[in-house]
Amino acid sequence: MYARRVPKLWNQTIEAHRREVREAILDTTAALVGEHGLRQVTMSQIAERTGIGRATLYKYFTDVEAILVAWHTRHVTAHLEHLAEARDQAKTPAERLEAVLTACAHIAYEVAHQHHATELTALLHRDEHVAHARQQLHELIRDVLADAAEDGQIRNDYPPDELATYCRNALNAAGTLASEAAIGRLVTLTLTALRPGQMDPR
């Protein structure tokens, strides 16, 4: 087969080039959405601004929505990596939990301050890639909570899934808070409900 005879280095260069073009398309689209709004951006504009032909653009993405999904997925993937890093730098289950929840609050703050974040979420909320990425975020938080519960650092009378849902929503409040100090207080407040030895749930 022909493909087998292409040198490995050449394949790698093509791969790197394709990745670069793809990233450039996402960046351009993000910039255009910032300028014109979500629904005013066309494939022709994106191709022109990226400096590629329309035909080339269509080899990468079928439509604007596909680009927005890729863009959003890139964001959520970066958030996931950020959370995993925060988790892995801490030592005990309790420290890991605090680090992850703090990172979550900062992500919520950043997302709320992105242009068109609400519209984008609404546009993509039924997309399965986005749903998958969100599920991964949820699972990361849930697992850190489950570890801390097993270690006796937080209450173990709630399903970890419910605690994770509570945390993610409570920390979304960071999006409307005005200061770093207020975000810190929110994390402390959210953690308070998780302490062991609290009143049993009804």
Q: How far is the CB of 55 from a second copy (least distance, A)?
A: 29
Residue 98's Cβ-side half-sphere holds a number of Cα atoms within 13 Å equal to 12
CA 146 from chain center: how many Å? 21
166 near a second copy (CB under 8 A): yes
Q: Torsions phi, psi of 196, nearest 5?
A: -70, 160
- Residues numbered 101 to 130 that lie near a second copy (CB under 8 A) are 118-119, 121-123, 125
Largest CA distance in the chain: 69
**DSSP three-state, residue 7:** coil
**DSSP three-state, residue 41:** coil
Q: How far is the CB of 103 from a second copy (least distance, A)?
A: 16
CB 153 within 8 A of CB 147: no
81 near a second copy (CB under 8 A): no
Judged by CB under 8 A, which stretch of 58-66, 79-87, 143-151, 167-175 contacts a second copy? 167-175
CB closer to a second copy, 55 vs 199: 199
Q: How far is the CB of 67 from a second copy (least distance, A)?
A: 19
Determine whether 41 is exposed, middle or buried from the number of CB atoms within 10 Å of its CB (0-12, 13-18, 19+). Answer: buried
Q: How far apart are CA 181 and CA 162, in angstroms?
A: 27
Q: Does an H or E element contain 165, and which?
A: helix 160-172
95 near a second copy (CB under 8 A): no
Q: How far is the CB of 134 from a second copy (least distance, A)?
A: 10
199 near a second copy (CB under 8 A): yes
Among 70, 76, 133, 186, binds a second copy (CB under 8 A): 186
Task: Tell me how many residues contact a second copy (CB under 8 A).
Answer: 33
Residues lying near a second copy in the complex (CB under 8 A) are found at 118-119, 121-123, 125, 158, 162-163, 165-166, 168-173, 176-177, 181-182, 184-186, 188-190, 192-193, 198-199, 201-202
